[in-house]
Amino acid sequence: MSQEPPKPAHVDLTFLYQTKAGRTVGSFVLLAALCQVLPYPALRFVPDDAFDLLPRLLRWEVDPLPWSLQPSEALAATPVDDETLLELPVASVDEPPTPRPSLVKSIDYRAPIVLQKTFTLDSPLPPMPSSRSLSPTLVLLPIEDPHAVMSRFYASLAETAGGKGQTRVLHYGDSLITGDYITQTIRRLMQKKFGDSGPGFVLAGKPSPWYRRNNVEVQVGGEWHTHRLTKPGIGDGAYGLGAVTFRTSDREAFVSFELPGRGELNKTVTDLDIFHLAMPRGGRFEVSVDGEVLSTVDTEASAIAGRVSHFDLSDGPHAIRLRPVGGGEVRLFGLALERDVPGIVYDSLGLDGTRAKLLERFGAGHWEEQIRARRPNLLVLHYGTNEGEAEGLASKNYRDDLLAVVRRLRLGVPEVPCLLIGPMDRADTDDSGKLVSRPVVQRIADVQRRVAYMEGCAYFDTWRAMGGEGSMARWYKSGLGGGDLTHPTRQGAERLGVMIFTSLLDGYRRHLSAQVP
């Protein structure tokens, strides 16, 4: 007597809708899914970008919704309108007219910056500048520039405003700008004020889930090996401009870049610069634009060296694709997308987990070579978040580490002005449950200010601009500080970008007022 074959096992899920508890859970799941697809961002628990989700998970809570804030807190979370912001009288003097070339002093941008003052470890520093309110929601804290090094940057802005050339900024930092937060706001406002010269530098891959660049979509396929300045490292120290190198021998691998055309800026490009490594037994990679092969680049060389391959494109919203085509290993750093018109190029070079000390891991001369290839008019170092993890951080050790990095830059690219941007306030919960500032942040800010004065950099004190002691607690309660009490929310990042921009614009206008007879 033959037996029937056994029926395939299956899981009975009917209880999910046959019981009251199942129906309740199912209803909440459906409601959450519906909230994610509705065109109302405030209803979404899962944000568009993973950066926003991290603070929520760390404290197992969601950021306050706009309608749950008190009236004064809701006002604090309201961003400033761009058009209104660009017309704010940020300087204490009347804004001069657009400068004529004859009113702007000629500057040799290739000549090393010569400091006129000397500050030592024991030199008394001048009083900190006073802040003032520009609007009910915006405070201006001037940039400290004891050596007037920013005048070279402001002079370039004046030339750009007059229709001559581009002004480029390299903004290095940690997780605060890994996702282009803060920097995308500065870029947007600078380009609205002085002209749009393109998106700038983009890494040739995604070193972490948090990496993104506003108005550039990056897609990666195949097998790539990623080496970061943090870890895993690479022995030769050739990390490229953005502190990350991507290598592959997989002929199925590719990386593509596309301009989605959202908003009014960064829609088209005319200049493509591909940053890669030349090396012994280096392979070849193919460059395609809008589906057509433009060129094949051979990276074979007798010695390791950074290279930039340049291509002229017609002005348009191009899609670019790079893929290896054999011959050996290919190592890419990234590419720069620009427009050949007067304006601003603002490179966001953030890498989560980075501390200023780690910048010393760049190979000798390699970092400086990469910086010179971008021809910047300003170098920004925006660190301190990860240093603040060590509450017992010794000021002397941190100062020595930061001095080494800044001195390396001043020696390697002495013609480029530098700006140090201090860390945000961060908070902890004390024994009574009250949110209090972490003391190490102010120590870090004080060290950065001292180093800026000693080594000829400008300095922006983010901690004081936020409000100083207790500011992260206030920002958190008003929807500007993230749930981890360390990072900003999207609105907070916008606020920080606006504050830095207004301080740069204030310095620019003061510079112009000094040039007018």
Please compute the mean of the pLDDT values over residues 143-167 and round it to a whole number. Answer: 96
Comparing CA positions, the residue from 351, 355, 457 lying closest to residue 406 is 457
Place of tokens 């199912």: 26
The answer to whether 276 and 285 have CB atoms below 8 angstroms apart is yes
Quote the CA–CA distance of 235 and 124 in Å, as a whole number: 42
pLDDT at 405 over 50: yes
In the chain, what percentage of residues exceed pLDDT 70?
82
Beta carbons of 344 and 508 less than 8 angstroms apart: no
The angle formed by the CA atoms of residues 428, 429 and 432, to the nearest 5 degrees, is: 150
In the prediction, which pLDDT does 446 show? Answer: 97
Q: 476-488: per-residue pLDDT in tens? A: 999 999 999 999 9
Angle between helices 490-515 and 183-194 (to 10 degrees): 40
Measured distance CA(481)–CA(38) in Å, rounded: 25
- Domain coordinates of the chain in residue numbers? 50-197+343-517, 198-340
- Encode pLDDT of 244-272 as tens digits: 999 999 999 999 999 988 889 999 999 99
Using the predicted structure, report yes or no on whether residue 62 has a pLDDT greater than 50. Answer: no
Burial of residue 111 (CB within 10 Å: 0-12, 13-18, 19+) is exposed
Contact 136, 75 (CB under 8 A): yes
Q: What per-residue confidence (pLDDT) applies to 5?
A: 52
Compute the half-sphere exposure of residue 127: CA atoms within 13 Å on the CB side of its CA.
3
Q: Could you identify the residue written with the tokens 């870090």?
A: 444
Whether domain 50-197+343-517 has CATH 3.40.50.1110: the reply is: yes
Q: pLDDT above 90 covers what percent of the chain?
A: 74
CA distance 139 to 163: 31
Query: Binning pLDDT at 50, 70 and 90, where does residue 84 land?
Result: confident
When pLDDT is averaged across residues 431-436 and rounded to a whole number, the result is 93
- For the stretch 280-329, pLDDT in tens is 999 999 999 999 999 999 999 999 999 999 999 999 999 999 999 999 99
CATH number for 198-340 (one of 3.90.650.10, 2.60.120.1360, 3.30.420.10, 3.20.20.60): it is: 2.60.120.1360
The predicted model scores a pTM of 0.84
The one-character DSSP state at 133 is E
Q: Which residue has the higher pLDDT, 12 or 242?
A: 242
Are the CB atoms for 146 and 451 separated by under 8 Å?
no
**338, 187 contact by CB (below 8 A):** no
In 3D, which of 306, 359, 338, 331 has the Cα closest to residue 172?
359
pLDDT over 60 at 406, yes or no: yes
For residue 263, what pLDDT is reported? 85
